[in-house]
């Protein structure tokens, strides 16, 4: 990341966080800068996922195991909550 003439920082995508207008440098809106930052983060995440060594690494295996276990736990808790809700409704006479 560098700075164009005038000192405005460049975003992670290489675009300037400021644009040259007829009157000089004008800053981009905050939402444009946030969109650029989000785009750069997504790009880095996707490139990391596509990196073959990462897919085979122990950290990746642990991460996927954690996600699977978390998902399974949430599914089980949801089934329990639905069962309890149905039992409470039956006891209430509905």
pLDDT tens string 32-84: 777 787 787 777 776 766 666 656 677 777 888 888 888 889 999 999 999 99
Question: Model's pTM, two decimal places?
Answer: 0.35
Which residues are paired to 27 by β-bridges? 18
Q: Do both 28 and 57 map to the same domain?
A: no
Q: Is residue 32 located within the same domain as residue 65?
A: no
- Structure tokens given for 39: 């785009």
Is 14 found in the same domain as 59?
Answer: no
- Backbone φ/ψ region at 6: left (φ over 0), alpha (ψ -120 to 50), beta: left
Is there a single domain that holds both residue 60 and residue 38? no
Instruction: Give the structural domain span for 43.
Output: 1-50
Q: Would the pLDDT of 88 be above 90?
A: yes
58 plus 46 within the same structural domain: no
Residue 13 near residue 5 (C-beta atoms within 8 A)? no
Count structural domains, the chain: 2
Q: Does 37 or 8 have the greater pLDDT score?
A: 37
| C-beta of residue 5 within 8 angstroms of C-beta of residue 18 | no
């Amino acid at each position: 990341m560098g700075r164009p003439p005038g000192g405005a920082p460049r975003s992670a995508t290489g675009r300037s966080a400021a644009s040259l207008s007829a009157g000089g440098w004008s800053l981009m809106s905050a939402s444009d800068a946030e969109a650029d930052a989000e785009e750069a983060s997504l790009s880095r995440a996707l490139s990391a996922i596509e990196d073959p060594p990462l897919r085979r690494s122990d950290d990746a295996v642990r991460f996927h195991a954690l996600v699977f276990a978390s998902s399974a736990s949430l599914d089980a808790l949801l089934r329990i909550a639905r069962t309890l809700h149905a039992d409470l409704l039956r006891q209430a006479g509905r």
